[in-house]
Amino acid sequence: MTPDLVKRLGLVKELEGHTGCVNCIQWNSNGRLLASGSDDKTVIVWDGLVGRRMARVETPHEGNIFSVVWMPGADDQLVGTGAGDCRVCVLNVETGATLKSVIGHQGRVKRLTTAPDSPGVVWSGGEDGLVRQWDLRERWSMDSSNVLVNLTHHAGRGAEVKCVSICPSRSELIAVGANDPFVRVFDRRMITCSRLDPSAIPDTECGAVAYFVPGHLPGVEAAFHRKLRPLTSTYITYNKDGTELLCNLGGEQIY
């Protein structure tokens, strides 16, 4: 990114097709196809180079779609979606069929993420404080033994997962953003997925391997709440090399 490149940025196309707010977009791996998810509970696939609508898929969702991802290893035929109805779905954008659909969280599903070396697998982060791992080869249900991270064990009963991101160079690492100023990084190799058990004693061996937080923010969360500016990681993403992590910290700055 250079100043000259920034000066050249401008509006190229306006893509019209949704009848509600567009909450999420994602390019496919080669940068040709763009998937968008909306409050109208549909997913549209666009040819991003010419701005043409390729497909419009009705989903089983009954709430606003907050996240859409391309499923790796599916030749750009499958997308995953997460929405405000606590549901995670996998859809075939060519046929319009729903391959998987589950009410997998007890709070809104705010973000999905995938790893290129894990075909058929998608991770979901919900406002119930859970990160869950869904595999197309397995049966999906609320009581599946697929809870990867229970953030309430790390940040208290009010913890909500707002965003998740897999490190592209080390896919065993998953970064989790929440309704606090911390970004926690977990190593999936050190965690055994489990069934949700509210009475379970937290496993201290499954803690985060790294924490990131601006040094001036711990301890001042209450002051931000009083100003109606709660500190929440609304989006996190790694750079392509996995050496840097970008965080949009709602109520404060971008880090």
pLDDT in tens, 59-84: 999 999 999 999 999 999 999 999 99
Tokens standing for residue 149: 């991270």
Q: Which two tokens stand for residue 91?
A: 């859809």
Other CB atoms closer than 10 Å to residue 126's CB: what's the count?
24
Please list the pLDDT of the chain residue by residue as tens digits (255 residues): 788 888 888 988 899 999 999 999 999 999 999 999 999 999 999 999 899 999 999 999 999 999 999 999 999 999 999 999 999 999 999 999 999 999 999 999 999 999 999 999 999 999 999 999 999 999 999 999 999 999 998 888 899 999 999 999 999 999 999 999 999 999 999 999 999 876 665 555 568 999 999 999 988 878 887 777 889 999 999 999 999 999 999 989 999
- The residue written with tokens 């750079």 in the block is 239
Quote the pTM value.
0.92
The residue among 89, 107, 87 whose CA lies nearest residue 98 is 89
In the block, which residue shows the tokens 């697998």?
A: 121
